[in-house]
Amino acid sequence: MMDASNGSANFEEINSFFDSAPSLKDGEAIKRKVEEFLEGRANRVVCVTSGGTTVPLEQRCVRYIDNFSSGHRGAASTEYFLKAGYAVVFLYRRGTCQPYCRSLPDDPLLECFEVTNGSNVTVNPIHAKTVEGAIIDNHLAVTRGTLLKLPFTTIFEYLQILQLIALSMRSLGPSALFYLAAAVSDFYVPWESMTVHKIQSSSGPLDMRLAQVPKMLSVLRKDWAPLAFCISFKLETDTKILVDKANMALKKYNMDMVVANELLTRKEEVIVVTKGGNVIVQRDKTESGADVEDPLIKLIVDTHSSYITSKQIV
Amino acid sequence: MMDASNGSANFEEINSFFDSAPSLKDGEAIKRKVEEFLEGRANRVVCVTSGGTTVPLEQRCVRYIDNFSSGHRGAASTEYFLKAGYAVVFLYRRGTCQPYCRSLPDDPLLECFEVTNGSNVTVNPIHAKTVEGAIIDNHLAVTRGTLLKLPFTTIFEYLQILQLIALSMRSLGPSALFYLAAAVSDFYVPWESMTVHKIQSSSGPLDMRLAQVPKMLSVLRKDWAPLAFCISFKLETDTKILVDKANMALKKYNMDMVVANELLTRKEEVIVVTKGGNVIVQRDKTESGADVEDPLIKLIVDTHSSYITSKQIV
């Protein structure tokens, strides 16, 4: 079987994607932030990606295609990685769920605070513990320098920043971990073929042809950070094809692990697919509020430990 | 010129849109909320719509098309309508800007609060006034019963809830105002022709055909609330066609006013298009923090007053 991801075609596609992408705003400042965050770090570092990427349909963008993702998985996983002693680069979609904020309502400022005696603003006692926990834990992670947050919106920004992080983390060798939970667009409109102005609605149905986004996993694996431990995610709505698709991704992109999840049950269980076999990871149903990310990150941390040891022996 | 919006074709399209849409979750509860909010109200009521609608591409939705809109215009306008004595039904896209929260940072809980002496959570003095203002003003509007907030996400939810609000506001006659600032999708995939599962990315480029969303403005005007004062919005990125498009919408849908705005200058000025002529409304550039919604809502309130008077004389 011809595998485009291993041939030169894929690298040409990737080069052409980056060459034609709009240039990253504040690229130099982001690069500096990442380098400062990683400077002198000997311990393990994980790059957690989270939330969906957008695909603009017009250069002066009014419409775009989006991938549904609350960012809950990435935020929860970040908390457990921090707890396990990792430093975390959290590459997240603007507006999605933040670490330590998972239990807060949608609009915490308006929903958690109340006005007493006419003009005293206090936190509602029901939410007090959650609100204080969120603020304190986030504050600690940021001030201790173990959490760096970087936002993205479009597929272009996401892949440009991911490349920049990966090239900086390359020097960490096997201590670097990529946990690619973001919902990345499969299809996009190349910038140079995109209409400049808003598409007009007066002329009947709209026909669109979207190009495939080149798969960056292979270039991350081969070029950007070849020694890093790499975990990608596979989300499907059809359980019948889920594990097969995850296995294909594992082989095609030479991942160390693929986390397979199904849209409706993704908060209850995931299937961890590796070359050594598959493991079903479930949340602890006997404990209220327990989530699937807790046992998942434990499993990943152990597997990453073995990986680091194996690379040192070699 | 044949005008489809006046023919029966448009009503057939609209019926078919509603018939094939997934049924509105909590529709009965939303209807009750609106009726309770309006009960016994003799004064003016405005329905402000705000934010963009999504168009799902799959029934078990992973991908969707979205319309860019921060919801800033709708939130700001709601504040000025409340100040002018209107009761406001605020129909907004989940996660977009809320009234009184315009000056807050993206993630107010994490950005406005700080930890002092290890574990005391206090509001950062720089943000204190904004944070307290937001909480108090929102609290007052909600407890006084002058502000009802209703969230939507998809184009289906948006149009179903709008219909329900309009049918309830119909009895207010000319005291009802519709301020339709939401960025509504022009194209969609009809539910019955939508793929159930996630679209697979393995088979080359993706070709999509999107149908036109039937224009609801004409049915709102003719059927749902015939005596209401109706304002729609026209956003373009190309100034050359903006006013022509706004004039066409004014005539085609028999609006009382169309607010024309251009993507890049929309926070500086808008053009108010009416049958009597066009007025350019600009923000007061001599005052820092002044916005274009302040003079815009003043103009609308005056025009609405004349409209009510004219209907009473008749």
Partner-chain residue, chosen from B66, B140, B207, that has the shortest CB–CB distance to A64: B66
Is A105's pLDDT higher than 90?
no
β-pairing, A176-180 with A45-50?
parallel
State how far the Cα of B257 lies from the Cα of B233, in Å rounded to an integer.
9
For residue range B111-121, list pLDDT tens digits in order.
Answer: 888 887 767 78
**Helix ranges (DSSP H) in B84-124:** 108-112
Say whether B66 and A61 touch across the interface (CB within 8 A): no
Measure A193 CA to nearest chain B CA, in Å. 14
First to last CA, chain A: 31
B54: enclosing H helix or E strand: strand B54-56
Question: Which amino acid, A147?
Answer: L
Give A13's contacts in chain B (Cβ within 8 Å).
none
Q: Is there a contact between A86 and A46 (Cβ–Cβ < 8 Å)? A: yes
Shortest CA distance to A10 belongs to which of A271, A252, A299, A284? A252
Is A113's pLDDT higher than 70?
yes
Give A187's contacts in chain B (Cβ within 8 Å).
201, 205-206
Partner-chain residue, chosen from B61, B115, B136, that has the shortest CB–CB distance to A135: B115
Is A217's pLDDT higher than 90?
yes
β-pairing, B176-180 with B229-236?
parallel
Measure B294 CA to nearest chain A CA, in Å. 23
Tokens found for residue A284? 């602890």
What is the homologous superfamily of the domain A4-313 according to CATH?
CoaB-like (3.40.50.10300)
Give B204's contacts in chain A (Cβ within 8 Å).
212
Shortest CA distance to B268 belongs to which of B245, B285, B243? B285
Q: What count of Cα atoms within 13 Å lies in the side-chain half-sphere of residue A193?
A: 9
Give A98's contacts in chain B (Cβ within 8 Å).
107, 110
Q: How would residue B9 be classed by pLDDT, with cut points 50, 70 and 90?
A: low
- Where exactly are the structural domains of chain B? 4-200+208-313
Tokens found for residue A121? 């603003």
What letter does residue B82 receive in the DSSP assignment?
H
Partner-chain residue, chosen from A186, A197, A209, that has the shortest CB–CB distance to B207: A209
For residue range A71-100, list pLDDT tens digits in order.
Answer: 999 999 999 999 999 999 999 999 999 999
A–B interface: beta-carbon pairs under 8 A: 167
Q: Is there a contact between A236 and A182 (Cβ–Cβ < 8 Å)? A: no
CB atoms within 10 A of CB A33: 17
Say whether B136 and A119 touch across the interface (CB within 8 A): yes
**Lowest mean pLDDT across A73-77, A120-124, B118-122, B212-216:** B118-122
Give A114's contacts in chain B (Cβ within 8 Å).
135, 139
What letter does residue B65 receive in the DSSP assignment?
E
Q: How would residue A171 be classed by pLDDT, with cut points 50, 70 and 90?
A: very high
State how far the Cα of A77 lies from the Cα of A70, in Å rounded to an integer.
13
Q: Give whole-number Cα distances, A286 to A269, A289, B89, in Å.
A: 14, 9, 43
* Category of B26 on φ-ψ map: left (φ > 0), alpha (ψ -120 to 50) or beta: left
Q: Residue for token digits 């049950």?
A: A265
For residue range A16-69, list pLDDT tens digits in order.
Answer: 899 989 999 999 999 999 999 999 888 899 999 999 999 998 887 778 999 888
**Helix ranges (DSSP H) in B84-191:** 108-112, 125-143, 155-169
- Listed ranges A9-13, A112-116, B164-168, B210-214; the one with the highest mean pLDDT: B164-168
Q: What count of Cα atoms within 13 Å lies in the side-chain half-sphere of residue B223?
A: 14
Question: CA nearest A249 in B: which residue?
Answer: B202
β-pairing, B45-50 with B176-180?
parallel
Question: CA nearest B195 in A: which residue?
Answer: A237
Distance of CA A247 to the CA centre of its chain: 20
Say whether A63 and B65 touch across the interface (CB within 8 A): yes
Helices A293-313 and A72-83: crossing angle, nearest 10°?
A: 60
Q: Residue for token digits 């004349």?
A: B306
Which of B124-161 are b and which e, b meaning 16 or more Cβ less than 10 Å from the residue's Cβ?
Answer: eeebeebbbebbbbbbebeeeebbbbbbbbbbbbbbbb
Q: Is there a contact between B272 and B279 (Cβ–Cβ < 8 Å)? A: yes
Say whether A237 and B60 touch across the interface (CB within 8 A): yes
Say whether B134 and A62 touch across the interface (CB within 8 A): no
Between CA B225 and CA B233, with CA B227 as vertex, the angle to 5 degrees is: 70
Distance of CA A117 to the CA centre of its chain: 44
Q: How would residue A190 be classed by pLDDT, with cut points 50, 70 and 90?
A: confident
ipTM above threshold 0.85: no
| Best to test chain B binding among A67, A115, A124, A213 (most B CBs inside 10 Å) | A115
**Helix ranges (DSSP H) in A96-124:** 108-112
Q: Which residues contact A105 (CB under 8 A, 6 or more apart)?
A: A111, A112, A127
For residue range B14-61, list pLDDT tens digits in order.
Answer: 888 999 899 999 999 999 999 999 998 888 999 999 999 999 988 877
Q: How would residue A146 be classed by pLDDT, with cut points 50, 70 and 90?
A: very high
Partner-chain residue, chosen from B66, B131, B197, that has the shortest CB–CB distance to A109: B131
CATH architecture of B4-200+208-313: 3-Layer(aba) Sandwich (3.40)
Partner-chain residue, chosen from A66, A131, A263, that has the shortest CB–CB distance to B66: A66
Partner-chain residue, chosen from B186, B205, B209, that has the shortest CB–CB distance to A211: B205
Shortest CA distance to A162 belongs to which of A81, A307, A251, A50? A50
Question: Which amino acid, B157?
Answer: E
Phi, psi of B310 (to 5 degrees): -60, -35
Give A138's contacts in chain B (Cβ within 8 Å).
110
Partner-chain residue, chosen from B63, B183, B205, that has the shortest CB–CB distance to A65: B63
| Best to test chain B binding among A1, A55, A59, A63 (most B CBs inside 10 Å) | A63
